[in-house]
Amino acid sequence: MSPTGDKQPLRVLLISYYFPPDLCAGSFRAKAMADALMELGCDVELDVVTTEPNRYQSHRPSVINDEDLDYSVYRAPLPETTAGLSGQVRCFGQFARRARHLIPRDRYDIVVATSSRLMTACLGAWLAPRLGAKLYLDIRDIFVETITDVFPGRLLWPVRRLFDGMERWALGRADRVNLVSEGFLPYFRQRYQRADYALFTNGIDSEFIASTGASGLEGSCAESDDLPEVVYAGNIGDGQGLERIIPELAIRTRDYARFTVVGDGGTRGKLIERCRELNAPVTLVDAVPRSQLLDIYRSAAVLFLHLNDLPAFKRVLPSKLFEYAALGKPILAGVSGYAKDFIQERIEGAEVFDPCDVSAAEQALRRLPLEHYRREAFVNEFSREAIMKRMAGDIIRVATGQRDG
């Protein structure tokens, strides 16, 4: 039975630039959102419009299995070259052009756009009125601030003004806005006169919850006779600034720990170059599927997290943090602002240092107890499945407010 009591299914369009098998936070979040919408028990017809896998050059599966899902996935091919800001703009332009032709229906009840770089939010805002639909925006980053901090300079001032206007336009059209980090609230409340922001954060996926406990990763933090392994796994980009911290930290602690970096991204080349310059003992591994990543986590003594030393990142709560915390491993985190407060208040067995401060990072690593931490209360509170179930219910409530009867 449908939420409105009639026999018409609720038609939902989900737009996400990334979707599995892409390996990134946006991909995992979009998949969890889609699954939650289908598991609500309502009569929902869901279409997902996304891209072919493109997040990392080192991970582009040739076979994509979308047929076994309870919803339909429509994928837009992208150009081969996606590096740099110009490449990203070109790729998104192609995605936007093709998205309208991929959409299989003329009418929807709601369009849900999950967006980190603002473009997907704008695409959703453009499509929703043309499809007779309400608009639900899931904002995962403050792109206007990020481009100002990561790409400073007078030449980018017009770009900043452009994106500022796009942000105002997209949010002004939204019926509901979800912010993935509570740290975003001051920014949006100052700029926009709305008081109904939702706060459905990132969370812990079921495979990481299942891997904790006595049968999973517990007890593996300091069992080896080798030096303890410090592992970073995730994106290697301007936002992480790994080349500014890991090579020198690895040299300073070479008597105490060994470093492994797993992943890919726009500044991986800078990290490799810096490691070579310093002859830093760092092992680099290409991005791997989650099933293989769990094996890497199993051998780790410490899990490493770092955000670059930029004002925009003081508002961010990295999705990787939830994954790390669920595994029970000690965490070494170079973060500031909201993320720092969150870790210190909620996560046992974590040491925090100021971003890009190598001396502080060394001290934090050396005093970090190499123990297993159960963190059961944290895992229960931040289960991705539970968070997405609540968010899916919120989406349905917004959608049904539009429907007749």
Among 193-202, 310-319, 349-358, top mean pLDDT goes to: 349-358
Distance CA 253, CA 305 (A): 17
Say yes or no: 376 and 388 in one domain. Answer: no
- Please tell me what DSSP assigns to residue 178: E
pLDDT in the model for residue 402: 47
pLDDT band at 52 (very low <50, low <70, confident <90, very high): confident
Fill in the amino acid letter for 138. D
360 vs 147, higher pLDDT:
360
Within this chain, do residues 55 and 32 fall inside the same structural domain, yes or no? Answer: yes
> Coil, strand or helix: which one is 158?
helix
379 Cβ contact list (under 8 Å, min separation 6): 204, 209, 212, 325, 326
> Are 175 and 101 within one domain?
yes
Percent of the chain's residues with pLDDT above 90: 69
What pLDDT band is residue 206 in, cutting at 50, 70 and 90?
confident
User: 60 falls in which pLDDT band (50, 70, 90)?
Assistant: low
Supply the mean pLDDT for the chain: 88
Per the domain annotation, does 5 fall within a domain? no
What is the structure's pLDDT at 41? 75
Together in a domain, 114 and 179: yes
Give me the pLDDT at residue 24, please.
86
CATH of the domain at 106: 3.40.50.2000
Render pLDDT for 280-324 as a digit per residue (tens, 0 to 9). Answer: 999 999 998 888 999 999 999 999 999 999 888 999 999 999 999
The reply to whether 311 and 369 lie within a common domain is: yes
Look at residue 222 in the predicted model and tell me its pLDDT: 53
Under the banding of pLDDT at 50, 70 and 90, the label for residue 90 is confident
Number of structural domains the chain divides into:
2
Over residues 85-110, the mean pLDDT reads 88
pLDDT at 347 over 50: yes
> Picking from 204-208, 246-250, 330-334, 345-349, which range would have the lowest pLDDT averaged per residue?
204-208
Residue 93 has a pLDDT of: 87
Q: What is the pLDDT of residue 2?
A: 45
Report yes or no: 356 and 334 within 8 Å, Cβ to Cβ. yes
Is residue 131 pLDDT above 60, yes or no? yes
Range list of H helices, 10-118: 25-38, 84-102
Q: Which amino acid is at 63?
A: V
Q: Tell me: do 16 and 90 sit in the same domain.
A: yes
- 67 in a structural domain: yes
How large a percentage of the chain has pLDDT more than 70? 87
**Domain presence at residue 405:** no
Residues 320 and 391 occupy one common structural domain: no
User: What letter represents residue 54's amino acid?
Assistant: N
Higher pLDDT residue, 179 or 291? 179
Co-location of 282 and 219 in the same domain: yes
For the ranges 203-207, 209-213, 265-269, which has the lowest average pLDDT? 209-213
Instruction: Report the C-alpha gap between 29 and 26 in whole angstroms.
Output: 5
Dihedral in degrees, nearest 10, Cα atoms 128, 133, 134, 139 = -40
- 369 in a domain, yes or no? yes
| Domain identity same for 139 and 230 | no
Least confident span in 131-140, 187-196, 269-278, 380-389: 187-196
pLDDT of 259 above 90? yes
Residue 157: inside a domain: yes
> How many angstroms separate the CA atoms of 220 and 373, rounded?
11
Residue 131 located in a structural domain: yes
Determine the pLDDT at residue 63: 54
Distance from C-alpha of 256 to C-alpha of 298, rounded to nearest angstrom? 19
Instruction: Label residue 215 by pLDDT band (50, 70, 90).
Output: very low
Per-residue model confidence (pLDDT) at position 272: 98
| Residues 117/143, Cβ–Cβ less than 8 Å | yes
Please indicate, yes or no, if residue 268 is contained in any of the structural domains: yes
Distance CA 152, CA 163 (A): 14
Please indicate, yes or no, whether residues 362 and 389 belong to a single structural domain of this protein. no
Its domain, for residue 128, covers 10-203+384-400
Res 88: pLDDT: 75
Residue 279 in this model has a pLDDT that exceeds 70: yes
pLDDT band of residue 57 (cuts 50, 70, 90) is: low
Closest CA to 226 of 141, 295, 301, 164: 301
pLDDT (tens digit per residue) in 235-257? 999 899 999 999 999 999 999 99
Over the stretch 5-46, which tens digit does the pLDDT of each residue have? 556 899 999 999 999 988 788 999 999 999 999 998 779 999
Same domain membership, residue 342 and residue 214: yes
pLDDT at position 252: 98
Question: Is the residue at 4 inside a domain?
Answer: no
Answer yes or no: do 395 and 358 share one domain: no
